[in-house]
Structure 1
């Protein structure tokens, strides 16, 4: 249940708070907590979800619904599921003596269980509890569980109670990653890398990779099974470790793939399970991605009006589209570097109603676009320049195509909706490529 408590918590008396009640068989087992301490924050969250397209009206069910979720309501474990999850954590990781309880829970209630160092495992283990209540938006044929929890191992000298960023960043990243599939309507799994804008405080790490955790149970061949628990609700929840990466390791993984990076970890004796070591060897030191502007030459795509917030979801859409036309991309490396540049300027032609059809990063190349009469449909022919900016210091192939796609989503292309590559028109003084987009019908 979601309830509005209109009694303000703050002295200014401006607003109340949103609370939730998670029902159980016995009333003493009911969980009561806060969705948001401030009602305005909850309203802002819902408005942002609507404007981003995550929350929209479902005509068939006559409700507002989060895309990729069963409902617009938060996802929480019930008492039975949480007890089973905690029992599994104690069995597979070890007993926990402390829990960092989450105070505000607008979408999931994500606590962090603290397992202290032991002689057998001389490191802290921090495990999320709550992320797995949310079913991630996975592809239809996804062979793995759509529910996961995360863990990170820290050295025994780590000050886990400190609020200083050099100590707190592992907990902050656990909580941030726990909500990433919700906020971006996507999914996380083994080998997925997530970059950071800045190095983690006190380290040279610039991102993380997810590494599948192993159970203590073994199969018939003596190999450890994946750490997966089946809860009373029939959810199957898999656990993944977070391993921090250096920038060169991030670049290498995107160019060469997950297995190649894991092989380097083995060659350099990086231990498993991974324990954060701010002084560990950089297994890809000196690696620099080589750009290849031809990476999209054999990738087919039809532009449409859907906005893709998640790069992973966009890549799966491109992959499926190519599969449907028998263009196999199984061996394709979608994140390989297409340009060693932070920015790429893309020139293209489209039809628009007015300047409001342009994104903030776009401009008209023909200033007299609206001087004459529009076409019969009220649209004007326009030549447009989009200044696309990569998340990292270089552009991956599918990242660039996603930028192009989202730029075109607000425009009318007529029959020319098919991607047919691009031409490099030149480079600006700072090295920014300027390309001209080719569209076919």
Structure 2
């Protein structure tokens, strides 16, 4: 990080994606992982609709792709979902109850319909940050010794800084229980493996501090009191910590 002026500058320099119109799986993916990914794709399309395109990282050994689903009449927002984080189980400590229930996961983020998701906009920090954060957290969770789950918070640097042109300074990991049914974000593959789908919820600095000091339940209560009832990113929403 020392070579760059800011955390965001490092983030967008490090990542380079290309947009593919097909959702074909990369040739280097093992047969077992390919079969498993096809199950995930089928599950997502069953609940959300057809996949519009796939973002695949160029010049990288990371197996994590991003699936893009355009807005629809029933789902009026963009959806980006990782594919590949769940190829292997995360290293959840044995002390965590029912650890096998949380070992495999994929991440998602929901963006408003006016969000410009296009190859041209990938060159801008404003358009690219959701992709960058999905990728960064997927890479983190895949690293030996790391894991994530419900209630995890990731600040944008230390000290915290705003993400791109938003008022947010980090993200919360949470099942998308407001906008999606339980059978979508917690399901089992044919071999019985449990898979969890987590949404990234951008947070204001005060919300990060509130969650850190008083816990997830208090933050969610503040969300309710503030009328925050959607996981779709809204850069104009109220700061529930105030």
TM-score range, shorter chain: 0.7 to 0.9
Cα drift, residue 77 of structure 1 = 5.5
1:164-191 deviation digits (Å, cap 9, x = unpaired): 0011000000000001123362110011
What per-residue deviation string (whole Å, max 9, x for no partner) do you get for residues 295-347 of structure 1? xxxxxxxxxxxxxxxxxxxxxxxxxxxxxxxxxxxxxxxxxxxxxxxxxxxxx
In structure 2, relative to structure 1, the CA distance for the partners of 1:30 and 1:156 (3 Å cut) is closer
2:204 aligned with 1:246, yes or no?
yes
Residues 158 and 30 (structure 1 numbering): CA distance in 2 closer, same or farther, change over 3 Å? closer
Q: Distance in 1 between matches of 2:184 and 2:107?
A: 13
8 Å CA contact 2:48–2:75 kept in 1: the answer is no
Give the distance between the partners of 1:150 and 1:261, measured in 2 at CA: 21
Shift, 1:134, TM fit: 2.3
Task: Provide the rounded CA distance (Å) in 2 between the counterparts of 1:266 and 1:137.
Answer: 33
TM-score if structure 2 supplies the norm length? 0.79
Q: 1:400 matched to which residue of 2? A: none
Residues 1:280 and 2:240 are matched in the alignment: no
Output the aligned Cα RMSD: 2.3
SS at match of 1:177: helix
* Equivalence for 2:162: 199
Following the alignment from structure 2 to structure 1, what is the Cα–Cα distance between the partners of residues 50 and 25?
Answer: 24
- Which residue of the partner structure matches residue 70 of structure 2? 116
Counterpart-to-counterpart distance in 2, 1:75 and 1:265: 42
1:226 Cα deviation from its structure 2 partner: 6.3
Structure 2 residue 87 is matched with structure 1 residue 127: no
Q: How does 1:282-431 map to 2 (within 5 A)?
A: 282-285=239-242
Cα offset for 1:30?
9.0
d(CA) in 2 for partners of 1:189 and 1:76?
Answer: 27
CA distance in 1, matches of 2:183, 2:217: 18
Q: Which has the higher strand share?
A: 1
Equivalent in the alignment of 1:255: 213
Q: TM-score, normalised by structure 1?
A: 0.44
Residue 185 of structure 2, aligned match among 227, 231, 237: 227
CA contact under 8 A between 1:76 and 1:133: conserved in structure 2?
A: no
Q: Are the aligned partners of 2:126 and 2:165 in contact in 1 as well (CA < 8 Å)?
A: yes
Unaligned runs of 5+ residues in structure 1 are 1-28, 34-73, 218-223, 286-441
> Would you say the 8 A contact 1:85–1:229 is kept in 2?
no
Higher relative contact order, chain-length normalized (CA < 8 Å, sep 6+): 2
How many residues are paired up? 209
Structure 1 position 257, deviation (Å): 0.3
Offset of 1:140 from its aligned partner? 1.2
Which string of whole-angstrom CA distances, capped at 9 and with x for unpartnered residues, describes residues 11-56 of structure 1? xxxxxxxxxxxxxxxxxx99534xxxxxxxxxxxxxxxxxxxxxxx
| Superposed counterparts of 1:122-201, under 5 Å | 122-142=76-96, 143=98, 144-161=101-118, 162-163=121-122, 164-183=124-143, 185-197=145-157, 198-201=161-164
Q: What is the SS of the residue equivalent to 2:27?
A: strand
Which is richer in helix?
2
Q: Is 1:102 the counterpart of 2:62 in the alignment?
A: no
Q: Is the 8 A contact 1:145 1:238 kept in 2?
A: yes
Q: Which runs of 5+ in 2 are unaligned?
A: 1-23
How many angstroms apart in 1 are the aligned matches of 2:92 and 2:51? 31
Describe the SS at the equivalent of 1:32.
coil
Does the 8 Å CA contact 1:117/1:123 hold for their aligned counterparts? yes
Q: Secondary structure at the match of 1:262?
A: helix
SS of equivalent to 1:101: strand
Instruction: Tell me whether 170-179 or 181-190 shows the greater mean CA deviation.
Output: 181-190
